[in-house]
Structure 1
Amino acid sequence: MISAPVAVLGAGVSGRAAANLVAHLGGTAVIYDEQGTGEIRSNFRPGDHRMVIVSPGFAPRHAWVVEARSAGLVCLAEVDFASLFWRGAVVAITGTNGKTTLTELLTYALNAAGVDAWSVGNIGAAFSQIVVDRDGGAPDSIAVCEISSFQAEMLRHFRADAAIWTNFAEDHLERHGSMQAYFEAKWRLFERAVGGEVFAGSSVQRAAARFGQSLPDSAVIDTEDPAGDVLLRGTVFEDQPQRENFLLAAAWWRAAGLREPVLYAAAQSFTIGPHRLANVAENAGVTWWNDSKATNFHAVEAALTKFGSQVILIAGGRAKGGDMAGFVERISPRIKQVLLIGETRNILATFLGAAAVPHRVCVDLADAVNAAANLATAGDHVLLSPGFSSLDAFRGYADRGQQFETLVRALAAADPVSL
């Protein structure tokens, strides 16, 4: 029983789920959000509460979080709070890229093995809501919990029975300020795997050495130059970048004492989520790809490795920090033309111009798709892989990807050469 009203910061998926869990436990929650309307309050009153549950959208330095701590309130991240009431095991997954697919794969494979497993966390199903829906879960249940750096940086009570870190690259510097701070936010997840096992990709090992941390040899999986695996032929995990996810899944799977044939069978039938390097259409010999979930430089670079020829790239959005000049330099050999959208289109144009990379500044996504259609010739690939946040012009990366697919299919319908 929670006796005093609990403040919940954030009216999104995590915040509302946390409020539901508070109610499930017999308490009362008051939701605060800067865009508050109706029952959602926009004027935070720390004096009315003893505990605050913080959604991942609220940074530790946010004025309301600072006020709560200054007033002596207990401040918990949403996943931290939820984990206190989960009776099952937790496998926690983080990484700059790949963490959603790895979370989905492990959950899918565990269910195929007859384990009661649930994907929770940053994947879109708040941990708190699963705790409510499953009434805390059974002792043999497993929460496969995707943890972003925003969620990890405030962890205090969360404990993982195992933690997997896919890779580490430039991202979210608008929040963390530096690569070291971004690394340290994610490293907190490994610190919460007390007594559990940890697994990390090759780039994580290099980052750990750079920032004064170390990993046991047994924890490091060679994810960047793996040998071929005939058992993955024809699956989404046959090649990079998805091969990295399977290697890490297999490392944990073996350590957990589970039968490998079950994992390989799951890989054969596993379907990757939308907006992850998905083939949308082929028209007049031009292939169109939706990789809207690529919201950082590393994801774009990984996507470009799929193509043997130069690509017409649609890129841009809301900046998240990072070395744009370095990004442009790395991708330039793989680019035929860049069509620029979003808030970063003009600054990206400056760097592309300096690197002599062909580019065009577009009014919006529709303009970019039309420009690509006019520019592309048979054999070309048009790739939406923005490298930036979608929140400048879209509700999220899924909205951006859906709009792209709608535009592409409208083009194909108007000229249905070989859809």
Structure 2
Amino acid sequence: MFQGTKNTERNFLVILGGGESGVGTAILGKKEGFRVFVSDRGKIAEKFRIQLEEHGIAWEDGQHSEEKIMQADLVMKSPGIPDDAPLVSRLRGKGIPVISEIEFAYSFTNAVLVGITGSNGKTTTTMLTHHLLKDGGLNVGMAGNVGQSFAKQVAQTNADHFVLELSSFQLDGIEEFRPHIAVLTNITPDHLDRYRHDFNQYIASKFRIVKNQTEKDYFIYDADDPVIMKWLQENPIQSQKLPFSLREELEQGAFIKDKQLIIRTDNSELTMPTSNLTLEGKHNAKNAMAAATVAQLLRIRKETIRQSMESFQGVEHRLEKVLKINNVQYINDSKATNVNATYYALESMDTETVWIVGGVDKGNEYAELLPLVNEKVKAIVCLGVNNQPIIEAFGNCVDLIFETQSMEDAVKQAYKLAERGDAVLLSPACASFDLFQNYEDRGRQFKEAVRKL
């Protein structure tokens, strides 16, 4: 981390990116005595401009004033800016530290931190963990990829605990950040365009979450994930390991036996019937194991954990049941932006399914979906600018494949294809940027189109 953070009278903090994390960092930086300047090459949204003005923070948008930026003592860059962006490279070449919001905010809080990362499941696990800890009476904030920025919450709240959803991009910008409890849900190929199409670089990025942990800290991870297990065999870590598994009974960690979810930590054991879990699917059983293990470690009462598990409503755009029309269930899984996330969605389907799929293909390998598609999918509705990879992947195992260019058309087509007892599943396996602003916009348009049927 940047040395001398606490001695801020002469420190000039430059923030690249005027979104949620950038403005949150600016507010915290100003509070801690930094001279702050926010620079965004795009347009800063009005709600963020208002916040910057209210706090008296200098900013610019539509450009980067490089001469001024190069005078920085410390730079925080938005996770959306690649590490190899020319301006970032020039800053580092001059010896100016470039860090993430997570790293910056970490310097100014003494809260107990739970960091959660993974290719899939991290949002659900984060929200469920926060739900359990809040129900358990802890003064807990939730930040990172969900909710308000971590830095802004450190500036404006006095939370004793934070649950942080962390992307690989955020972890790339840490130096000293150390969560007391780290969770890794799984690792599958994703965002490889940011990692020179090298899966090993992406794996190493995810494991940065444990790099500063000591033997006093905990690492919760999926013992069924071969990528995680291989890395751990080759790279010893300091923290206490608490795996979770659907396949084997564990001396320490979480597993399922005789339809009971069992969690063993520090000579304590929690059991609850799997039938009490409101979230469906094997992947959600794993998310529940991870979250409940955190709650156990933080001494939440066992009965509170059981009750909280039963009351959790799930995450918008993740296997979200929208409506049942003519006895056909419509399900919004717009957050499934990669093949692995869609695998989990299809795996959880127990009826004939009309599958809406497509978007910006990030070099997807669809082969692993073929057995599930063969077994469960009666028709495919493609929703994207380029649907050819999907048609080529599944044309031999699904007779009915239709192309659409709008959500309204996709939902109408699915409505025609679905029969009583079927499900219509939006689980795109792709990014959304060809036809939508983001996956939230895609999911909301799906729900709106369903309600119009």
Could you tell me the TM-score, scaled by structure 2's length? 0.83
Change (3 A) 1:128 1:218: closer
- Equivalent residue runs for 1:9-408 within 5 Å: 9-36=16-43, 39-45=60-66, 46-134=69-157, 137=158, 141-176=160-195, 177-195=197-215, 196-204=217-225, 206-209=227-230, 212-213=234-235, 218-223=241-246, 226-227=256-257, 228-229=259-260, 231-237=273-279, 239-328=281-370, 331-353=373-395, 358-408=400-450
SS in structure 1 at match of 2:79: coil
1:101 and 1:272 in contact (8 A); partners too: yes
Deviations, residues 349-368 of structure 1 (Å, cap 9, x unaligned): 22223556642221222211
Deviation, 1:333, is: 3.0
Deviation, structure 1 residue 14: 1.0
Aligned sequence identity (%): 28
After superposition, the Cα gap between the structure-2 partners of 1:75 and 1:318, relative to the gap in structure 1 and judged at 3 Å, is: same
1:59 Cα deviation from its structure 2 partner? 1.9
Shift of 1:404: 0.5
The code of the aligned residue for 1:132 comes to: A
Q: Point out the structure with the larger strand share.
A: 2
Tell me the distance in 2 between the aligned counterparts of 1:148 and 1:272. 20
Cα 1:319–1:330, aligned 2, differ >3 Å: closer, same or farther?
same
2:4 alignment counterpart: none
Shift of 1:205: 5.3
| TM-score normalised per structure 1 | 0.90
Question: Which ranges in structure 2 are unaligned for 5 or more consecutive residues?
Answer: 1-7, 45-58, 249-255, 261-271
Q: Residue 264 of structure 1 aligns to which amino acid in structure 2?
A: R
C-alpha spacing 1:327/1:131, structure 2 compared with 1 (3 Å): same
Report the 3-state secondary structure (helix = DSSP H, G, I; strand = E; otherwise coil) of the residue aligned with 2:214: coil
Unaligned runs of 5+ in 1: 412-419
Mapped to 1, the partners of 2:293 and 2:385 lie a distance apart of 40
After TM superposition, the structure 1 stretch with the greater mean CA deviation from structure 2, 317-326 or 381-390, is 317-326
SS in 1 for 2:220: strand
Map Cα deviations across residues 321-363 of structure 1 (whole Å, 9 max, x no partner).
3423444565343221111112442322222235566422212
Q: Distance in 2 between matches of 1:35 and 1:218?
A: 43
How many pairs were matched up? 407
Instruction: Determine helix, strand or coil for the equivalent of 1:109.
Output: helix
More divergent stretch after superposition (196-205 vs 100-109): 196-205
